Amino acid sequence: MTSSPSSSSSSTTILEEEEEEEEDPENPANAKPKGPIGQAFDFLSAVALVCATAVAAVAGASYYVQTTEELEKKVKGKDFEKEIAVPGAQRFAEYLLEFRQFIDEKSSHYLDPISDKLLPDHPPDAMYIPHTLVLDLDDTLINSNWNRERGWRVFKRPGVDPFLEHLAQFYEMVVFTDQLLTYGEPILERLDPKRYVTHRLYRESAQYKHGEYIRDLSKLNRDMERVLYISSKPKSAEMNPENVIPIQPWRYEDGSTDTALLDLMPFLESIVRLGVADVRAVLSSYKEEMKRTGKDIPHIFRERQQKFQKKRLEQAKQVAPIGRGRKKIDAW
């Protein structure tokens, strides 16, 4: 007699439940207690693992905290292995140093500027060598803005046209941006169609450091005593802070009332007209007053000019007449 499906299903279920399970030797529940020797072996293994982790941690910290030169000097020092006091540490450190040098060599192609001379030499027969004015691009001369209706648009900062046109008479002008050439070149073609800006430098000319693209002004192939850099991000030239003129960042939302570029023009023109030998000394004086008063460079410049004019007038009143003329006044 055949059994019904329900009874067949029931018997199958009972057989599965009653089936003996084979012991799994890898299951911790089935592991047999270890004797004293096994426990001692486990303890020594754990100690060895901790020591290896500590050595790796020290090595990793040395790798990231120290420069390659510092690491090489330390590894090749006479007392290195005595200081670490771990067998084989010297050889491990040498492998680490070799790896670090290999990485540095390969990464320098992508992190370092394309050249140590980013600008061409001045003509050898040049009668006059101008000061160099380096300008950042984004939020200094332009601002890229997006909204849902029109997408991305690039807007010129108010005053940028007369700023470039006027100062091109006094300076060798350079735009130095951290943007790619494919982004920056079309913008500069429209921003500066008359080529007031003599040179254009892009991301490949910058130094990649700590996640930022830094402008190393010392690689411009120019006398640093005659180089000025204007940027809304002063840290973008952190290697040469003494050459930086900070300016407020401009956004499209700020509107057309911004006058920061126009306000800087008299100060920049005076640098050239007065033949300042080292711009860094002048900027240092202004920055000290900025920290003390909270005022910007154009404001301080205007105040100093007013004081100078007042002093000249006072001196003129005190000069005794000589004949029909008056004594010449020393402007400074």
User: What's the confidence (pLDDT) of residue 210?
Assistant: 82
- pLDDT over 90 for what percent of the chain? 54
- How do residues 149-191 score in pLDDT, each as one tens digit? 888 899 999 999 999 999 999 999 999 999 999 999 999 999 9
User: What's the confidence (pLDDT) of residue 114?
Assistant: 76
Measure the CA–CA gap between 14 and 40, rounded to whole angstroms.
46
Residue 216 contacts residue 207 (beta carbons within 8 Å) = yes
Catalytic member of 121, 136, 258, 330: 136
Mean pLDDT of 305-329: 73
- How do residues 250-300 score in pLDDT, each as one tens digit? 999 998 999 999 999 999 999 999 999 999 999 999 999 999 999 999 999
Count of all residues that appear for the chain in the document: 332
- How do residues 124-133 score in pLDDT, each as one tens digit? 998 999 999 9
User: What's the confidence (pLDDT) of residue 58?
Assistant: 52
Task: Report the amino acid identity of residue 225.
Answer: E
User: What's the confidence (pLDDT) of residue 48?
Assistant: 60
Mean pLDDT of 13-23: 43
Residue 96 has pLDDT above 80, yes or no: no
Whether 138 is catalytic: yes
Measure the CA–CA gap between 182 and 311, rounded to whole angstroms.
53
- How do residues 60-95 score in pLDDT, each as one tens digit? 555 455 666 666 676 666 565 555 555 556 666 666
User: What's the confidence (pLDDT) of residue 266?
Assistant: 98
Supply 132's token pair.
């160099």
Residue 55 has pLDDT above 80, yes or no: no
Instruction: Give the CB-side neighbour count of residue 323, counting CA atoms within 13 A.
Output: 3
- Those residues with Cβ within 8 angstroms of residue 129's Cβ, 6 or more apart along the chain or in another chain: 122, 223, 226
Phi and psi dihedrals of 98, rounded to 5?
Answer: -60, -40
With H, G, I as helix, E, B as strand and everything else as coil, classify residue 203: helix
CA 4 from centre of chain: 81
User: What's the confidence (pLDDT) of residue 99?
Assistant: 64
Local confidence band at 249 (pLDDT 50, 70, 90 cut-offs): very high
The overall average pLDDT reported for the chain is: 80
Measure the CA–CA gap between 153 and 260, rounded to whole angstroms.
22
Catalytic member of 42, 121, 138, 263: 138
Local confidence band at 9 (pLDDT 50, 70, 90 cut-offs): very low
User: What's the confidence (pLDDT) of residue 211?
Assistant: 85
Beta bridge partners of 304: none
Local confidence band at 307 (pLDDT 50, 70, 90 cut-offs): very high
List domains and CATH numbers for the chain.
47-111 (no CATH), 131-285 (3.40.50.1000)
Local confidence band at 42 (pLDDT 50, 70, 90 cut-offs): low
CA 85 from centre of chain: 39
Q: Euclidean distance between the first and final Cα of the chain, in Å?
A: 127
Instruction: Determine the angle formed by the axes of helices 260-273 and 160-167, rounding to 10 degrees.
Output: 10
- How do residues 180-200 score in pLDDT, each as one tens digit? 999 999 999 999 999 999 999
H helices of the chain, in order, are 5-18, 36-65, 68-75, 80-84, 89-111, 160-167, 181-191, 260-273, 279-293, 297-318
Whether 136 is catalytic: yes
